[in-house]
Amino acid sequence: MYRRRIMVVDDHPFFRSGLIKVLEQDTRLRVVAEAATGHEAVQRAAIHRPDLVVMDVQLPGVTGLQVAPVLRRQRPSLAVVFLSMYADDERLFAAIRAGAVGFLTKDSNPSAIVEAIHAVLNGQNLLQEAMLGRPGLAQRVLREVRALGDHRASAGDGDPTLGRGTGLSARELEVLDCLVMGRSNKEIGDALFITEQTVKNHMTSVLRKLQVDDRVSALRCAVIRGWAEIGPQPYAGGPRPLAGAELGLE
């Protein structure tokens, strides 16, 4: 029997391992990869080619909301289900913009999580269904769709980054993620298995796309735009995310 391939992305090791155990109790599912950060998710999705990714919204460094569109550009058939502590309209709207088809709170019953995953794998869009009970969210999505249509009508092909995250390539997002985690060029190269010169080349492209002149400005831009999370807490297993004070944001 073919088991559907799942990747779990969450920076909390205990929650991640617990979720993996729950999923692997279902003989129809197979967890083929796990990751704690955005760049790990991009790397491992390319290698293991999952059918579905269950991903925390608030990853350290580049957020899950920015990672999801990159994963789906790499593998258009990939389904993304987000996890979060809260499920307010703002988070649901951001998840819809990121191309997710499901959104679950972390306190959900394990059986409900498994049931939701199977529903998504069978073609259901749980986020669209959630909009039926949230008129404000539905109206906001409708306005977004109309605005996107108007923009494309007035600008030809339109802005390919509008509503699709950062507009960075997969590798550029990986570099930005490592940068937010406080890594040097050498450490970024080691993490991504590329040379320092290649890191520098990608960094140049990131700076150009963000329209900034240096690394600190790139970090500030990513944080201000909501592409990356910062905080003083240490990140288990690697460099910590930079704090707001270090970027002049506090």
- Residue 66's domain spans which residues? 4-131
* Whether 45 and 99 share a structural domain: yes
Pick the last residue of a domain from 106, 131, 156: 131
- Is the predicted pLDDT of residue 28 greater than 90, yes or no? yes
CATH number at residue 236: 1.10.10.10
Q: What is the pLDDT of residues 104-132, one digit of tens each?
A: 999 999 999 999 999 999 999 988 777 66
Per residue in 132-141, pLDDT (tens digit) is 666 666 566 6
Q: Which among 83, 113, 131 is the end of a domain?
A: 131
pLDDT of residue 134: 62
**51-65, 134-148, 171-185 — which is least confidently predicted?**
134-148
The mean per-residue pLDDT over the stretch 30-46 comes to 96
**Do 97 and 203 sit in the same domain of this protein?**
no
- Stretch 9-17: mean pLDDT: 95
Determine, yes or no, domain membership for 162: no
Quick one: 122 and 176 in the same domain? no
- The number of folded domains in the chain is 2
Query: Which residues have CB under 8 Å from 188's CB, separation 6+?
Result: 175, 178, 179, 199
Whether 18 shows a pLDDT value over 80: the answer reads yes
- Residue 149 in domain: no
**pLDDT, the chain, mean:** 82
Task: Tell me: pLDDT of 61 over 80.
Answer: yes
Which pLDDT tens digit goes with each residue over 188-223?
Answer: 999 999 999 999 999 999 999 888 988 888 888 888
CA-based nearest residue to 219, from 241, 188, 240: 241
**Residue (of 53, 10, 14) closest to 35 by Cα position:** 10
Read off the pLDDT band of 26 (50, 70, 90): very high
Q: Residue 126: inside a domain, yes or no?
A: yes
One-letter identity of residue 206: V
